[in-house]
Amino acid sequence: MTPSVTPSETPARGRAQQTATRPPLPVKMVIAGGFGVGKTTTVGSISEIAPLTTEAAITEVAAGVDDLSHTPRKTTTTVAMDFGCITIDPTLKLYLFGTPGQERFGFMWDDLVEGALGGLVIVDTRRLDDCYAAVDYFEHRQVPFVVAINTFDGQTEDNLDEVRWALDIADQIPLITFDARERGSVRDALLAVLELALERADSASRRQAAAAPGGAGS
């Protein structure tokens, strides 16, 4: 039986791979926001495939502990999650995952957010409350994110300051407007997230370099 080959175990780069095609490195971003705010539209506007839906069983851990087993009570729920992808180049592929609309699915989000480059929190100004769960979550997990108002038709950005005030989000969190139906607009919104992520990663690596004694460590 031939053991399967994983990237970290393949030192001989020149040798022919056991599998015909080497898969790209997958990276992901998370598209969050309340129900019906335009998450799937956003994904669909820029994804190279029509958004796919997968059902995932998620586990919610109830507060408190079951007396008999001394383990937290758990319930399993099935949620639908939409996603799409963009091939950056043959070796790099970006996945866009929409969070399930309901805010209580904390565990699902951990699964989604682990290793994500960043998050886009979509806001509908008619229902600002819907985005708090996502904002709090990304802040807590220290995931770089941008809050993006889906402007649909006619709305302009003249009330951006009011929205920021109403949302009560920190000044350093970028607040932008975009149109989920427009490909270029979605692209720019994702770029805003990635530029923030780059900025953060850059300053983190500078801090690391400054802190490393002699600069010899990795």
Partner 1 sequence: MADADTQADEDAVTGPAAEQGGRPSAVRPFLVTAGRVAGIRSSPQIPLETQVVSTAAGIEGMEQLAFERRDIVALCRRPQSLAEVAARLRLHLNVVRVLAEDLESTGALSVHVTNPEAAQDLSILRRVIDGLRAIPDVRETTP
Note the residues at the interface with partner 1 (CB under 8 A). Answer: 1-8, 18-28, 46, 52-57, 78, 81, 83, 85-86, 88-89, 92, 94-95, 97, 111-112, 114-117, 182-184, 187, 190-191, 194-195, 197-198, 201-202, 204-205
As measured in angstroms, the least distance from the Cβ of 146 to partner 1 is 14
Determine the Cα–Cα distance for residues 192 and 174; give it in Å rounded to an integer: 8
Is the Cβ of residue 71 or residue 171 nearer to partner 1 in the bound state?
A: 71
As measured in angstroms, the least distance from the Cβ of 73 to partner 1 is 16
Is the Cβ of residue 7 or residue 11 nearer to partner 1 in the bound state?
A: 7
Is the Cβ of residue 39 or residue 124 nearer to partner 1 in the bound state?
A: 39
Determine the Cα–Cα distance for residues 85 and 71; give it in Å rounded to an integer: 38
As measured in angstroms, the least distance from the Cβ of 34 to partner 1 is 22
- With vertex at residue 15, the alpha carbon angle to CA 11 and CA 18, rounded to the nearest 5 degrees, is 95
Chain centroid offset of residue 32 CA: 7
Tokens representing 21 are: 């095609």
Is the Cβ of residue 167 or residue 180 nearer to partner 1 in the bound state?
A: 180
Closest CA to 85 of 37, 50, 119: 50
As measured in angstroms, the least distance from the Cβ of 97 to partner 1 is 7
As measured in angstroms, the least distance from the Cβ of 71 to partner 1 is 14
Long-range contacts, stretch 86-91, CB < 8 angstroms, 24+ apart: 86/46, 86/47, 86/48, 87/24, 87/48, 88/24, 89/24, 90/24, 91/24, 91/25
Q: Are 150 and 180 in contact (CB under 8 A)?
A: yes
Is the Cβ of residue 85 or residue 135 nearer to partner 1 in the bound state?
A: 85
As measured in angstroms, the least distance from the Cβ of 114 to partner 1 is 6
Determine the Cα–Cα distance for residues 129 and 215; give it in Å rounded to an integer: 46
Is the Cβ of residue 172 or residue 218 nearer to partner 1 in the bound state?
A: 218
